[in-house]
Amino acid sequence: MPGDMLRMTLETLSLHSAGLTAKRAIEDARQKVTELINAEDETCIIFTSGATESNNMAIKGTALRNIQKGKKVAASAIEHISVLNPAKELQKISVLILCNLVVLYVDTHNTRVSTRNDP
């Protein structure tokens, strides 16, 4: 089945047989991953189209889920843009969720970490 899935791009919500086959393949994969990593249940497993979507969902989701524990989000200045942008978006909507972004800067040897205000 994996080879077949690579050759097809299907809408898993479609009611035609190919769409239903794709949906079953996704559900089977979700079940296998759930068991492999000992996740609570299948609803914990989310497949995305790539790293940018995954980073966006992980950063925003984690920040919003844990907002009662603190409202500070830290990211390294050398992070990929797909990590920095969701963190910056959280800062922009800080009026709603009171989230502060702390950007951590490292030296060329990655030996010193500082914030923008540090000497």
Per-residue pLDDT of the chain (119 residues; tens, 9 = 90+): 455 544 445 555 566 777 788 888 889 999 999 999 999 999 889 998 899 999 999 998 888 888 888 777 888 888 899 999 998 888 877 645 556 677 777 777 766 666 654 44
* Structural domain of 108: 69-115
Residues 6 or more apart whose CB falls under 8 angstroms from that of 5 comprise 22, 25
Does residue 60 lie in a domain region? no
Residue 23 phi, psi (nearest 5)? -60, -45
**Same domain, yes or no: 75 and 38:** no
Question: Is residue 56 situated within a structural domain?
Answer: no
pTM of structure: 0.63
Judge whether 90 lies within some domain.
yes
Place of tokens 């502060």: 100
Note the maximum CA span of the chain. Answer: 63
Count structural domains, the chain.
Answer: 2
> Residue 64 domain-assigned?
no
